[in-house]
Each structure stands twice: as C-alpha cells, then as structure tokens.
Amino acid sequence: MQIAVPRESAAGERRVAIVPEVVAQLTRAGHRVRVEKGAGIRAGFTDKAYEDAGCETSGAGADLYSGADMVLRVQRPDNGEVAKIGSGTVLVGLLQPGADVSLFARLAAQGVISCSMELVPRTTRAQMMDALSSQSTVAGYKAVLIAANALQKFFPMLMTAAGTVRPAKVLVIGAGVAGLQAIATARRIGAVVEAFDTRPVVKEQVKSLGATFVELDVVAEDAQDAGGYARELSEDHIRREKDLIHQRAIGADVIITTALVPGRRAPMLVSAETVKAMKPGSVIVDLAGEQGGNCELTKPGETVVHNDVTIIAPLHISSDLAFHASQMYAKNVAALVTLLAPKGSLELNFSDDIIAAVCVTANGEVRHAPTRERLASASPMAGLSR
Ligand code: NAD
C-alpha cells in the first residue's frame, strides 16, 4: 500500500506519525512510505533520515496524497486536508471521537475508512497499538519536570555543608498510566510521593513504585467498570475525596492531577479553598486540563498564580517531548497498519475486535455507535465516548 505521512498542521503540534525507525517494518510488509518534507523535523527527524530509511519525501498537497491508500497522522486533519483524502483511503490518527462530530460525517460521505487510535481496546493483544498509554506515559513524565522547574525547591533530599535539604512532597491524584509514570519520575528525582486513586486495585502498583497510597473507603465495584475504567463517583464520594485531598494538599509542595473518567468532564477534586490552604510557592500541574481540569482554578492551556500557588494546565503535553512521543506513537501506528494490512493489502476484517473497535467510518457509513448517535441527535455532547 502507498502510505502518506503529512506534516502536522495543528498549532503547537511537533509530533509526527511515522519515524524513520519504523519504516523498515512497513516496507518489509510491502508498503511504500511517502513523507511530506519537513514532517519530522520538529521532532528531530530529518528528511534525509527518512530517505535513508527508504521513504520518498514530497511536497504537501497533491504530491503527497496522490495514489495514497493510507494517510497516517497524529492529530485530526483540517478541512483542507480532509478534502485531499480520496475514497477508499484509510486515515489513522488521534481523531478525537468525542470532539466535533462533523468530521466523521464528512469522512463517511467521502468514503474514507477512518481509524481512531483512542479507540484501541485496552487488551493485552492491543497493547502494541495503545497510543493512549504511550502518550500518557510521556505526559506523566513531563508533568513532573514541569512541576520541578516551577518549584523553587529541590526535589531530592540533600546533605550539604550548608545544611540538610528535605525532599519535596508530591501528591499524585489519579494513578492510571500518566499518574503511575508521574509517581515513578518524581521518585527517581528524589521526592517523597503520595498517590491517590478511586480504584483500590492500583494500591499495589503505587506501593511498588515506592509511594504511599492514600486510601478512601470506596467499594471496588463503585470505582471501576468491567473494563477497568474509573466510574463517575457519587456526590458523597467526591465530597469525602475532596476533604481527603484537602488534608494531604496542605503538606504537599507539588500536586500532579491526572484523574479522568471516560466520556465525562474530569472530576473537580482540588477546590479553590484547598489551593488557598496550600503552602506559598506550591505548584499544581493539572493534566486533566483538556477535559476541564481537576482543579477548580485551572485554566486549560494557561498558567495561573493564586495565593502564591502556581497552577499549570498544559495542553498537548506529549508534543513537548516530540522525539520519544513520536517514536512511541509511530510504533503504535505501525502495529495497527500491520494488523489492517498484514500482507501488503488492506484486509478490513470486522470480526477482529481491534479493527471493529477503532474503525469510525467505512464504506460510506459511520460504524462507531456513539459517533453515529451523536450525529443523529446533532448534539455535540450526547453519547460522548472514547
Ligand atoms: P484514565 O486516563 O482514564 O484515568 C486516569 C486515572 O484517574 C485512572 O486511574 C482513574 O481511576 C483515576 N480517577 C478517575 N476518577 C478519579 C477520582 N475521582 N479520584 C482519583 N482518581 C480518579 O486512565 P488510564 O491511564 O487510561 O487507565 C484506565 C484503565 O485502563 C486502567 O484500569 C488501566 O489499568 C487500564 N489499562 C489497560 C491497559 C491494557 O490492558 N493494555 C493499558 C493501559 C491502561
């Protein structure tokens, strides 16, 4: 198959969908890869590196898309880019199935087979394709570095001739993929870490990373669904949780929040009152900003200072570590391409649970039920889902 890899057009996006390292895997399977000139440079991959790996490089527009059977991207295409994707072409990317649904109506009408990386099931077989996990790993790591940079204190304990420095105290709220990586990173640079999640099953993982698990008496079945994802908690649970977080926040130098519930606004867990009670100079990095934020004072994409507490809510944080974020994402995408076209040509086998789950549009139809329902109701929020 002819594969096209465009330069990402979204503001601030530095990642690229395919890196030179994975090209051999694709060409071995009989694919030809054409990369738009400059597509990888913001992530540290030169045109020459792609050419050396066996890719063709081309200009944007018709040159890139002509004869393309597959278009591999990081972010959603804009309207101009959608117009260039031909009928029967496979489009793979982080297409944000919960965002503006009109994209999928257009893709279906154009006959594009669109596959959204967010919809890869969280199963063992699909692990190689799990871009949510790979990008969350990047985000959790980077959040700690952002916090350490903003904090006017050391993270590690130091014993120097000028006295002993006590280690920073970090509270991580939400111990999913991003939270666990944040715990590991904060521990690696010497902080004392406490972590909290409503799913009691993560307690052992938190402890194995050398952090203390802060417990709230939540029944496991109330906290997570059959797929292992967090459920939205009752108002009473959230109130008790906020009280608990308030108590732990008072002693923290840094709070990293990562709490998400699929298809819902992020739970609001750190109140303005809690921020007011924190030590001056403390730092909150809110990774849930794209879903509304876990802190009441979060402004997504901005840094605000309230009562001498700095609240940072970076958006598209994985793009800040573009080299490795691209490398990991490219491996996820190449694994999906291999599944979709194992012998060089497309085998759209909907009895495969991964293909059935990721495919949003095919054969002129919207296959993904929540997207179909949202289009039918024409309500941008109805049936919001991963
Ligand atoms: P996520 O990004 O959806 O959510 C982040 C974390 O926030 C979760 O751990 C969740 O429990 C927590 N959370 C939600 N509400 C909260 C609240 N009110 N207070 C505190 N914490 C709260 O999570 P994720 O990282 O995508 O992981 C979700 C699930 O998927 C987990 O069970 C994880 O083990 C599983 N998973 C499985 C695989 C696999 O099998 N291949 C891969 C990755 C993740």
For residue 1, pLDDT over 50 is answered with yes
In one-letter notation, the amino acid at residue 79 is N
Q: Treating both helix axes as pointing N-terminal to C-terminal, what angle do 322-340 and 131-150 enclose, rounded to 10 degrees?
A: 170
Render pLDDT for 276-308 as a digit per residue (tens, 0 to 9): 999 999 999 999 998 899 999 999 999 999 999
pLDDT of 219: 60
The residue among 61 and 319 whose pLDDT is bigger is: 319
CB of 254 closer than 6 angstroms to any ligand 1 atom: no
The number of the ligand 1 atom at minimal distance from the alpha carbon of 261 is 14
**Could you tell me which of 215, 315, 199 has the C-alpha nearest to residue 261?**
199
For residue 382, pLDDT over 60 is answered with no
In CATH terms, the fold of domain 2-129+321-378 is: Rossmann fold (3.40.50)
Render pLDDT for 176-222 as a digit per residue (tens, 0 to 9): 999 999 999 999 999 999 999 988 889 999 999 999 999 877 665 66
pLDDT of 230: 75
> Residue 305 pairs with which residues in a beta bridge?
310
Rounded mean pLDDT, 124-152: 98
d(CA 237, CA 217): 9
pLDDT of 381: 47
- DSSP, collapsed to helix, strand or coil, labels residue 181 as helix
For the chain, give every domain's residue range: 2-129+321-378, 139-315
d(CA 237, CA 277): 21
Mean pLDDT of the chain: 93
pLDDT of 244: 92
Q: How many degrees, rounded to 5, is the angle at CA 21 between CA 18 and CA 27?
A: 75
Using CB atoms within 10 Å of the CB of residue 139, give its burial: 0 to 12 exposed, 13 to 18 middle, 19+ buried: buried
pTM: 0.92
pLDDT of 222: 66
Domains 2-129+321-378 and 139-315 share a fold: yes
Determine which of 55-69, 186-200, 372-386 has the lowest per-residue pLDDT on average. Answer: 372-386
The two beta strands, 113-116 and 158-160, are unpaired
**Could you tell me which of 154, 214, 149, 153 has the C-alpha nearest to residue 179?**
214
- DSSP, collapsed to helix, strand or coil, labels residue 98 as coil
CA distances (Å), origin 45, targets 7, 16, 345, 358: 12, 9, 27, 28
pLDDT of 383: 43
CB of 136 closer than 6 angstroms to any ligand 1 atom: yes
In one-letter notation, the amino acid at residue 346 is L
Q: How far is the CA of 385 from the centre of ligand 1 (A)?
A: 15
Q: How far is the CA of 205 from the centre of ligand 1 (A)?
A: 12
CB of 258 closer than 6 angstroms to any ligand 1 atom: yes
d(CA 284, CA 85): 42
- According to the CATH classification, is domain 139-315 in 3.40.50.720? yes
